[in-house]
Amino acid sequence: MRSRVWWRTTAAVLCGLLVAGCGDGGGSGDGDQAGPADDKSATGDYPVTVTDCLGAKATFSKAPERIVTSNASSLELLLRLGAGDNVIGTGFPPGKGTLPGELDAQARQVKVLGQSVIPKEKLLGSGADLYIDTFASMNMGGGMGDAPTEEEFKAAGIKHIYLKSTACAAQNQRPVTDLSAVEADITSLGAVTGTSAKAKELVDGMKKKVDAVRKAVGRTAEGERPTYFFFDYDAGTKQPTVVCDRQVANAVITLAGARNVFADCDGDYQQVGWEDVISRNPDWIQLGVRDRGSEAANEKAFDEARKWLKSHPATKGLKAVKEGHFLRIGSERTTIAGVENADTVREIAKALYPGKVG
């Protein structure tokens, strides 16, 4: 593992809970599988009601004023929605430079309540009126550390809601092939925080980018689509960790007109052997590197990942390696549900279909 892997500071299973998608596998990303807020949310009116993965409801009579986020995924969405001033704390803070531009500066101002999972006592005593949970800690077995019970949240005056695009992996029964769950989360958060207009702007922007790619490459026959391997360099090279069909990266790859070579494994992440990668011999490889905090440091990490693939006996003979078909696209924007998933769809498609995608 590398030093700037900000969200792998606990057990490896964490990454699945952080970034597994919940899309319905439909085509356009227009689905409502993530359960957006009720109809009143469209105008920003209150009360607004949202549900969790099990159908439990949380109703808001006004916008929350003191929000705690469980990790950088929900924090980033709130910052993009313009609700960042109401965030009083977070767990799993983003590494410096992980978020783009002004968002990074804003994120630096948010109090860190935990470098990983926020301790139970600190969360309950934070003074929050809303906790946005990115983890599957909904009494569904396992959970994230010693999480408060719903009764404890209620006693502390904290409403507890989930990002369904990241927290519902345990219940998702179908491959994730679109961004509908991410878009629905943005819509729901916009309704809850009174920023529905901004949420619509963000979702419309995502749809526009993805629709343009679909128009350009969508008619490409499945068998003619390039095969694609997301090389999670920061997960370690001894045994590769691959993204499976329930991970949002599977949707990003699919929407870009490629075929995830590990789309046949059910779940979000899985460890495989290099012989499995060799047998699938991908046409393209994404160098999965997490943000190091600067462009120079990122380029150095991409160079290291590329050098490893070109020199290692198990990978130097791969088609993508021999042809130099590498994509230098950051891991976070590919594997963490968010607005930049749509940008990654376009960036991958531009590389794989030169001249077709603007």
Cβ-based neighbour number of residue 47 at 10 Å: 12
Higher local confidence (pLDDT), 46 or 174: 46
CATH 3.30.720.210, domain 220-352, yes or no: no
Q: Where along the chain do its domains lie? A: 25-211, 220-352
| Lowest-pLDDT range of 27-31, 109-113, 328-332 | 27-31
Helix (H, G, I), strand (E, B) or coil at 268: coil
Confidence of residue 142 (pLDDT cuts 50, 70, 90): very low
Strands in the chain per DSSP E: 48-51, 57-60, 67-69, 87-91, 112-114, 130-133, 159-162, 227-232, 241-243, 259-260, 269-271, 284-288, 326-327
Tell me the average pLDDT across 114-140.
86
Q: What is the dihedral of CA 202, 243, 213, 332, to 10 degrees?
A: 40
Classify domain 25-211 by CATH number.
3.40.50.1980
| Lowest-pLDDT range of 145-159, 168-182, 231-245, 263-277 | 168-182
What average pLDDT is seen over the chain?
A: 86
pLDDT > 70? residue 65: yes
| Lowest-pLDDT range of 64-78, 127-141, 211-225 | 127-141
Closest by CA position to 249, among listed 270, 225, 223: 270
Higher local confidence (pLDDT), 211 or 54: 211
102 contacts 132 by C-beta, under 8 angstroms: no
pTM for the model stands at 0.84
Phi, psi of 120 (to 5 degrees): -55, -50
Helix (H, G, I), strand (E, B) or coil at 87: strand
Express as a percent the part of the chain with pLDDT over 70: 84
pLDDT per residue as tens digits for the range 89-125: 999 998 877 888 899 999 999 999 999 999 999 999 9
pLDDT score for 145 = 58
115 contacts 142 by C-beta, under 8 angstroms: no
Query: Cα(322)–Cα(28) distance, rounded to whole angstroms?
Result: 35
Higher local confidence (pLDDT), 159 or 19: 159
178 contacts 28 by C-beta, under 8 angstroms: yes
260 contacts 288 by C-beta, under 8 angstroms: no
pLDDT score for 171 = 66
pLDDT score for 100 = 81
137 contacts 127 by C-beta, under 8 angstroms: no
pLDDT > 60? residue 25: no
pLDDT > 90? residue 227: yes
Higher local confidence (pLDDT), 11 or 138: 138
pLDDT per residue as tens digits for the range 271-300: 999 999 999 999 999 999 998 888 899 999
pLDDT score for 37 = 52
Tell me the average pLDDT across 56-80.
95
Peptide bond just before 47 cis, omega within 30 deg: yes
Domain 25-211 and domain 220-352, same fold? Reply is yes
pLDDT score for 43 = 47
Express as a percent the part of the chain with pLDDT over 90: 72
DSSP alpha helices (H): ranges in 156-294?
Answer: 164-167, 180-193, 196-217, 248-255, 274-280
| Lowest-pLDDT range of 7-16, 128-137, 186-195, 243-252 | 7-16
193 contacts 83 by C-beta, under 8 angstroms: yes
CA distances from 87 to 111, 133, 172, 239, 295 (A): 9, 13, 29, 38, 28
Tell me the average pLDDT across 228-233.
98
pLDDT score for 31 = 38
DSSP alpha helices (H): ranges in 218-315?
Answer: 248-255, 274-280, 295-311
